[in-house]
Amino acid sequence: MDEPYNPYLIAAYVITAVVLVTYALRLRAARAALQRRAQGRS
Amino acid sequence: MSGPGASAARTEPQASGGGWRAARHRTSGPMSRWGAPGPVVAITVLNKDLLLDFRTRDRLGHMAVFALLVVALLSIVLPSSPTERLSWSPALLWVVLLFTSLLGLARSFQSETEGGAIALLVQAPVDRGWVFLGKAGASALALIGVELWTAVLFTVFLDVDWSAAWPQALGAGLLGALGLAALGTLLSAMSVAVRFREFLLPVLLFPLVLPVLVFASRITAEALAGREAPGQLWAAFVLYDWVFALIGYFVFDYVLED
Amino acid sequence: MVSAIVMLTTALATGWIVWLSRDPEARVASARAVGAAAWVVIALWLWLVVYYAPIEQVQGIVQKIFYVHIPAIIPMYLGFVLTAVGGIGYLRTRDDRWDQLAIAGAEVGVIFCSLMLVVGPIWAKPVWGHWWVWDLRLTSTLVLWFIYVAYLFLRGLAFGSDAAKTFTSVYGIVGTAAIPFVYFAVDLAQGSTMHPSNPAREGLPPAMGQTVGAGMVAFVLVFAWLVARRMEVAALEAREASALRGAA
């Protein structure tokens, strides 16, 4: 399996990227929601 | 059922009485900064738990029946040529013990919560680490009882011959009981306050207790094969029990507060 | 040289995380710098993976999964360390900030642990022919994953009760303490391993070493950034919870 576009290889890197980016986005969304609610209270 | 609750309340207050041993010590020499010397507390708690076990036969009886059931079931289901049996019996023994221990550990704090004695336990001016050791000790003894029973079952149902293997097997049984009891008591105390504890206790316990299973079943396997288990293995086992007994001792204070 | 850089980065990142845990909301601004650094190293690492790292003889190009699999190891362990440290800190001081450190460590740690369990088999299948083998590395990582998950379950089920933070602190401590025993036990139980033997001990060709080193630095920075953000969210949640309690 020497073609540069080996599916396993791609899958490994893509999954890693997707998982980490998704988590980061969820954190950002949570932070935004919490800050909005905090604004609403003050 | 007033039995367990009543006896718990009766023998519980180490602070005020704790039994004749504690009273005697308190009027004599120096002791710990708490009301009663640590080991005495531990033994008192242990005695009370054991008394409970023997009087009601709840915990021990249930564990024994459960072990019988599981061993019988698995003996029927698993391949049973003598060589195959020899390969899986040691591990099976310990898996059975693990599941049976769950029954016993879940009960560990049941009498206290039902009788409302947890509050007494918390308020008693004793070093709570010793309470932990007492409770864990009682569970360990119950487990040893179940182990002996299970060993008998294995001889009856699976033709396991303990005659040459019993010293090492006994050692493994002791260390295994202590390890399971230490972690199990600590985690059981925590899961008492939480929802879904039948689910939670195994989920919390099993990964941490994997080394016990491996060490104990390996020693047992070596013993049954007529070999000596390596010293390194014993050392690791003892270290494991020591580490978690120590952690339990130091941490139990905080656990009981909540 | 490479391992020195990796260790230095790990130490600095850990120190930064602990410093940040003292006041997540105010200090999280420094996360921007860390994030930017992470992007730079990621770019470097990817370039190295594609253009610099050699194509290995036996496995072919699939071997390059190595560069995304190995770097997840340090964050996985770091997560446990933070959870244990946070747990000890909380038990001794009852200061919520330690608890926030612990939960951040656990959540981000479990992510990297899960990644190892997913990427590992993706690598194993083309190379060894099996998705899963019960060898020392994979098995221990699986048990570690169970410990992480148990911690998160405990937290979820206990949530809201006063005891939750205490209990998870305790579990964080015993969970981390169990790790060396788990390794020893699994090693004993499994015997030989199919895993490629530890290259650090055998010595990697320099190009490979540098590439994986870059990956490790990148992942540590990403880990630190994620932990920082997670602690910020935890601090905001705590603030909201106390505000609601105060109002009620």
**C174, C176, C186: best to mutate for the B interface, most B CBs within 10 A:** C174
Task: With a cut of 50, list the residues of chain C below it in pLDDT.
Answer: 192, 199-201
Does the beta carbon of A27 lie under 8 angstroms from any beta carbon of chain C? Answer: yes
Instruction: Name the residue among B195, C46, B116 with its Cα closest to residue A9.
Output: C46
According to DSSP, residue B53 is labeled: H
CB B210 within 8 A of CB B98: no
pLDDT tens across B74-84, in order?
A: 888 887 777 77
Between C197 and B14, the more confident residue is: C197
Query: Which C residues in the span 114-153 are in contact with A, Cβ-Cβ below 8 Å?
Result: 114-115, 118-119, 122-123, 125-126
Average pLDDT of the segment spanning B201-220: 93
Query: Which C residues in the span 81-110 are in contact with A, Cβ-Cβ below 8 Å?
Result: 108
Q: Do chains C and A touch (3 or more CB pairs under 8 A)?
A: yes
Nearest residue, CB atoms, A38 vs list C122, C232, C240: C240
Query: Which C residues in the span 31-60 are in contact with A, Cβ-Cβ below 8 Å?
Result: 55, 60
Q: Subunits that touch chain C (at least 3 Cβ pairs < 8 angstroms)?
A: A, B
Domain ranges of chain B: 34-257
Mean pLDDT of chain C: 88
Residue B109 pLDDT class (50, 70, 90 cuts): confident
pLDDT tens across B145-159, in order?
A: 999 999 999 998 888
Other Cβ atoms closer than 10 A to C14: 18
DSSP C227-246: HHHHHHHHHHHHHHHHHHHH
Q: Do chains B and C touch (3 or more CB pairs under 8 A)?
A: yes
- Residue B233 pLDDT: 92
pLDDT tens across C168-191, in order?
A: 999 999 999 999 999 999 888 876
- Residue B111 pLDDT: 66
Residue B103 pLDDT class (50, 70, 90 cuts): confident
Q: What is the CATH number of the domain that holds C127?
A: 1.20.120
The model's pTM is 0.85
- Number of structural domains found in chain C: 1
Find the domain containing C186 and state its range.
2-247
Q: Could you tell me which residues come within 8 angstroms of residue B140 by beta carbon, excluding any fewer than 6 positions away?
A: B177, B178, B180, B181, B182
Does the beta carbon of A24 lie under 8 angstroms from any beta carbon of chain C? Answer: yes
Tokens matching residue C134: 């019960």
Query: What percent of chain B stands above pLDDT 90?
Result: 33
pLDDT tens across B120-150, in order?
A: 666 666 677 888 888 888 889 889 999 999 9
Q: Could you tell me which residues come within 8 angstroms of residue B167 by beta carbon, excluding any fewer than 6 positions away?
A: B223
- Residue B7 pLDDT: 38
Task: Return the amino acid letter for B80.
Answer: S
Cβ–Cβ below 8 Å for C170 and B196: no
pLDDT tens across B164-188, in order?
A: 888 999 999 999 999 999 999 999 9
Residue B26, pLDDT > 90, answer no
- Residue C244 pLDDT: 80
Residue B28 pLDDT class (50, 70, 90 cuts): very low
- Residue B164 pLDDT: 83
- Residue B9 pLDDT: 36
Cβ–Cβ below 8 Å for C91 and B200: no
Average pLDDT of the segment spanning B12-16: 38
